[in-house]
Amino acid sequence: MTKSEVSKSQYQAALEGLHNEMVKLQHWVRHKGLRVVVLFEGRDAAGKGGVIKRMAAPLNPRGYRLVALSKPTEQERGEWYFQRYVKHLPTEGEIVFFDRSWYNRAGVEKVMGFCTDGEYEAFLRTCPAFEEMLISSGIILIKYWFAVSEEEQEKRFQARNADDKKRWKLSPIDLAARAKFRDYSVARDKMFAATHTHRSPWYVVHSDDKYRARLNCLQHFLSLIPYEDLIPEPFDLPPRQLSGADEEFPIDPACFIPEPY
């Protein structure tokens, strides 16, 4: 049965509640010294960025980081493949969101020919061991794949291309990948078969409906880490020292910015 569309008011009300819970979770992560890694993977325009933005919006920026790496440098290409990602792993009490991750090798690098067949096969073979090492060290590793239909992806591409504010989202790689939808499907299936394990499973988010995808992903993320409400009670604020208008710091009016609004 087709679900009814989530209205904007329903979405905003649900999001506010989830944001409250995200703050509680972050307090818990900091209190317990947890290290949390969340991977966001999927096709171009699948909605990863929108979910990351909503997931991170209420958080204290000192307790989380967003990692969105560009193409590797010449030096990084000569390193152990996972090395450039290891340096971005969280410290105690921190959450790290990866907007694309080491799974680039199983997706865009494979489909676009940016790695050799040997490098690709080595990745599929060694990735589960790498992730097992992270988990055994105490890292909480969560992997999301955002599933968008071919029709919805094309609609989003067209919308981005028509919007001056969003055209930056269309990279040359995105444009080249439009003709390889099926190739990406094959690569995704092989990646799932090789890297979906009991200790490090993939979680698939249906993302044609952006509102529903955001709410569902936040709710699911919150369900994976048991936490308690450690938000402190409101403080008794001490009285302020009052200053008179004549004590205002003198400043040249030319230092103030124009106020056209």
60-113 pLDDT, tens digit per residue, is 999 999 999 999 999 999 999 999 999 999 999 999 999 999 999 999 999 999
Q: What is the mean pLDDT of the chain?
A: 94
Q: Does domain 19-227 have CATH number 3.30.365.10?
A: no
| % of the chain beyond a pLDDT of 70 | 97
The answer, yes or no, to whether residue 192 has pLDDT greater than 80, is: yes
pLDDT of residue 250: 73
Residue 247: the pLDDT is 60
Task: Please state, in angstroms and rounded to a whole number, the distance separating the CA atoms of residues 49 and 40.
Answer: 8
Separation CA 98–CA 251 (nearest Å): 45
**How far is Cα 102 from Cα 47, in angstroms, rounded to an integer?**
19
Instruction: State yes or no: pLDDT of 244 exceeds 80.
Output: no
Domain residue limits, the chain: 19-227
Indicate the pLDDT class of residue 170, thresholds 50, 70 and 90. confident
pLDDT level of residue 169 (50, 70, 90 thresholds):
confident
Under a CB-based contact definition with an 8 Å cutoff, are residues 110 and 185 in contact?
Answer: no
User: 1 pLDDT band (50/70/90 cuts)?
Assistant: low
Task: Mark 10-26 as b/e (b = at least 16 C-beta within 10 Å).
Answer: ebeebbeebbebbebbb
Rounded to two decimals, the pTM is 0.92
